[in-house]
Structure 1
């Protein structure tokens, strides 16, 4: 009589394939020893490591359902810059490289930015001449 109940609990559930969240970024960031490259569809932007003068994190109040954190890497004149949304493919590897490569990289400012739920600008790494 309770066979239906035992079958319900003993039934094997198929695991659904993991789907990419709707808010996942289509942006891909790669880097090597000389350059950082950001691809967003057909658009490709590059910045040489030697030209990186500032790393800033911009946050918005749009989370958690929209991307609400953006890395901005810019040159000394603010003429060339890269904008990388949180969740971009390769973002974590870039962060690890910046932590090693950019002396004085402010990890506490990164934590503060990641904790932000509002609109904000967090200076993560300026070049020594800009401080």
Structure 2
């Protein structure tokens, strides 16, 4: 039975973009709103085996090495325009810098899949809680809140 459960987890990890779309539907974030976010957001996120790069559309790039990643959180900011109501925060281990990536940014789905694959105990339930939150808040995704 445990083998079947872990097989399901692998399939879910591979379909992170589909999972986010399903969660968006479940919690009332329409496909049209998500599509509008992708069209209007100038933010692009890219990554490889060593570095995550965010281009905020201003010509400047922010980078963080996977090896220096210490914390991943989702910030719910419902008082701001809906194009940035959920923001990923990837914090550097020195605590002085972080990447911020709005949910729906170009490349965000692939980044989520990579984080799920690379980061042990990535807390998908914290993502669900952030997406279903009606108010502002910070949701610890990795390391899982129980581990810090």
| Residue 98 (structure 1) aligns with | 115
| Residue 121 (structure 1) aligns with | 138
CA displacement 1:88-113 (0-9 Å, x = unmatched): 00000000000010001000001111
Higher radius of gyration, 1 or 2: 1
Higher strand share: 1
Given that 1:37 and 1:44 are in contact with CA atoms closer than 8 Å, whether structure 2 keeps it comes out as yes
Extract unaligned runs of 5+ from structure 2.
1-31
| Residue 70 (structure 1) aligns with | 87
Extract unaligned runs of 5+ from structure 1.
1-17
Q: TM-score, normalised by structure 1?
A: 0.76
Cα deviation for residue 117 of structure 1 reads 2.3
Given that 1:106 and 1:124 are in contact with CA atoms closer than 8 Å, whether structure 2 keeps it comes out as yes
Q: TM-score, normalised by structure 2?
A: 0.68
Cα deviation for residue 83 of structure 1 reads 0.3
| Residue 36 (structure 2) aligns with | 21
RMSD: 2.2
